[in-house]
């Protein structure tokens, strides 16, 4: 079964940038939802953040704390 959804132009552009050549848009959504966003993808979308290793460290540390708080899934 398929469902039709509406996306803003911006959301569609972001989804299309993450789509691999062999993937459907459904595959992209599932992959991104399953694995969550990666810091490297965010930095790729925002070139001004390249080289900000302190920011990366803080984000990783906060992610670990949130994951520990949430417990096993």
Helix axes 9-18, 25-35, angle to 10 degrees: 80
Summarize the chain as % helix, strand, coil (round to 5): 65, 0, 35
User: pLDDT by residue (tens digit) across 5-35?
Assistant: 888 888 888 888 888 899 998 888 888 777 6
Give the Cα separation of 63 and 69 in Å (integer): 10
User: pLDDT by residue (tens digit) across 30-49?
Assistant: 887 776 666 556 555 556 66
Give the Cα separation of 10 and 49 in Å (integer): 20
């Amino acid at each position: 079964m398929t469902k039709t959804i509406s996306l803003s132009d911006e959301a569609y552009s972001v989804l299309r940038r993450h789509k691999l050549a062999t993937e459907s848009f459904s595959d992209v959504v599932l992959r991104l939802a399953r694995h969550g966003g990666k810091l490297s993808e965010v930095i790729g979308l925002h070139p001004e953040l390249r080289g900000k290793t302190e920011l990366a460290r803080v984000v990783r540390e906060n992610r670990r704390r949130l994951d520990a708080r949430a417990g096993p899934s």
